[in-house]
A = this chain, B = another copy of it.
Amino acid sequence: MTDPEEHEPVSRPLASGEVGLVAPQDFTCPGPFTFKSGQVLPGFTLRYETYGQLNAARDNAILVCHALSGDHHCAGVHAADDRKPGWWNNLIGPGKAVDTRRFFVVCANVLGGCVGSSGPSSVNPETGRPYGISFPFVTILDMVRAQKLLLDHLGVTALHATLGGSMGGMQALLFAIEFPAYTRRVLAMATTARESAQAIAFNEVGRQAIMQDPDWNHGDYPKGGGPRVGLAIARMMAHITYVSDASMDRKFGRRKKTTADGESYTFDVQFEVEGYLRHQGQTFINRFDANSYLYITRALDQFDLAHAYGSLAAAFAPVQAESLVVGFTSDWLFPPEQNRQIALALLRAGKRASYAELATDLGHDSFLLESEELYTLIRGFLERSHTPAVDFSI
């Protein structure tokens, strides 16, 4: 157990209410770490950031879990002139809905990721080259167990909450299932207890785009190289599933890039939405590893609480946390109904659970976008007093 002071972010307030300057840190677990698959890694590293201070009771921590293409950098900036803060900077900070004056916020790049944590792009010490697809298969459970080791290392004795959207929501739920006494609140958004066939199908097309790219080379490629074309295609397609028809129509409609009569006969970019998608693909390949994309989408597809525990009721039986599940009306990747089912199963299992459905037209990514309605819900859920479970049995 490490003194929490050691992990205090190097922070200076850039502006009132901002987390400010943060430095990512690395937690190296000596291991060995046994994956759900049975494969073993001698040890692993998680890159993480923390904001706020762990209290004396060491129980004010909030674990933020990121989605497929997210990372540990969810708030603050890495340099004073850093123009792009962390991905959930609107939500997290002093006085914000996730108030870093009250809470000790932890966010780690997932196991299998490519932003500092151990994953297929990490160097295998035995070969001196990236693991590639010889890296052990990763499940959501493996991600959660690795994060628990990080929290132990940070000295957190209980989680005030776990919080995440999409794949982050899966991790948040699994925390409450696997570490019930440790996890007091779960806030899961735009998530699912198991993906539909359509969601698996989209992930599979992305994987095929990567694996059929000759530069994939069975996962064996140098760092920064690899199937850039396939990864860009996968990202372009996936991006469509993160937004909605309505939001794309509002943002781009049928507006054209060409200024003439708008009828240029070419396969170059014509519609603004095409240029936008190509940009999404191109920026993604500079920050993400194709093998990590394969691993993490597989983890998403494999996640199935009912299958893993026998039933949703059995999965949720041990949960002690209070939970809030949030669905978004325009989310067609993990639709409201799949979120509602989670809350319903928790209620049936006798747990304190709520479901809130927010009307948005921004699609799956609604959970990432600033929203007074959502942020008020999150603050209310995180700051209400915790009602410990009372045992009515004699």
Contacts and interface: CB of A to CB of B under 8 A. Distances in A.
Contacts of A31: none
DSSP class of A's interface residues: helix, strand, loop or mixed? helix
Interface stretch (A94-102, A149-157, A267-275): A267-275
B197 A245 contact: yes
Contacts of A195: 254
Q: How many copies does the complex hold?
A: 2
A208 B205 CA distance: 14
A196 B249 contact: yes
A311 interface: no
B233 A197 contact: no
28 contacts: A36-B263, A137-B266, A196-B248, A197-B251, A197-B254, A198-B240, A198-B244, A200-B254, A201-B273, A201-B274, A204-B271, A204-B273, A204-B274, A204-B277, A204-B278, A205-B237, A205-B240, A205-B277, A207-B267, A208-B277, A208-B278, A209-B233, A212-B233, A213-B229, A262-B307, A263-B302, A267-B298, A271-B301
Interface of A: 36-37, 39, 133, 137, 194-198, 200-202, 204-205, 207-209, 211-214, 229, 232-233, 236-237, 240, 244-245, 248-249, 251-254, 262-263, 265-267, 270-271, 273-274, 277-278, 281, 294, 298, 301-302, 304, 307, 332, 335
Given A39-B265, A200-B273, 18 more contacts: A194-B254, A197-B251, A197-B273, A198-B240, A198-B244, A198-B249, A200-B254, A200-B274, A201-B273, A205-B233, A205-B236, A208-B278, A209-B233, A212-B229, A245-B332, A262-B307, A263-B302, A271-B301
